[in-house]
Homo-oligomer: A and B are copies of this chain.
């Protein structure tokens, strides 16, 4: 790897553990930076992630990435989108199920955006997306956030019914992290 060590700046330990498992699978060590950024209000996750990254880099001269993710529900015009964390804390899983009621169109996707930067000034964006649908009931206790009501396409379990290894096989965040890892490894070989 080009960098001796890479940090993941997040206050969400679930996210850190998911990413750490992927790094370690590729023989890389991931460090945790417990850093709370002032996320901007935007409907664009990339914009939010870039802004957060620059806040981290202004205080820490290290190779580091931030990640922002959201659940986008088609029939709700993308709600809760970038505000998924706040919406989860206030109206929760039941709130989303109430909003959808018996609606048949339950299409949704999870999107993850990683913004990586290093003290030398280079910055890269990596994204991961997973299509699926919102279930009619809460299923599972695993994961975090909206995982127990999100069933990825072509799978029978919700994210909430999967352990970290299963979720990491195709989750939005895993996709983005894998792209980052490959980029980090590829750069080393140059």
Contacts and interface: CB of A to CB of B under 8 A. Distances in A.
A79 B95 contact: yes
A25 interface: no
Interface string A82-96: 110011011100010
Interface in A67-106: 76-83, 86-87, 89-91, 95, 98-99, 101
A41 to B, nearest CB: 4
Nearest to A92: B77
Q: How many copies does the complex hold?
A: 2
Contacts of A43: 86
17 contacts: A38-B40, A38-B42, A39-B40, A41-B41, A41-B86, A76-B95, A77-B89, A77-B91, A79-B90, A79-B91, A80-B90, A83-B83, A83-B86, A83-B87, A95-B99, A98-B98, A98-B101
Given A40-B40, A83-B83, 19 more contacts: A38-B42, A39-B40, A40-B41, A41-B48, A41-B83, A41-B86, A43-B86, A76-B90, A76-B91, A76-B95, A77-B90, A78-B90, A79-B86, A81-B86, A81-B90, A83-B86, A83-B87, A95-B99, A99-B99
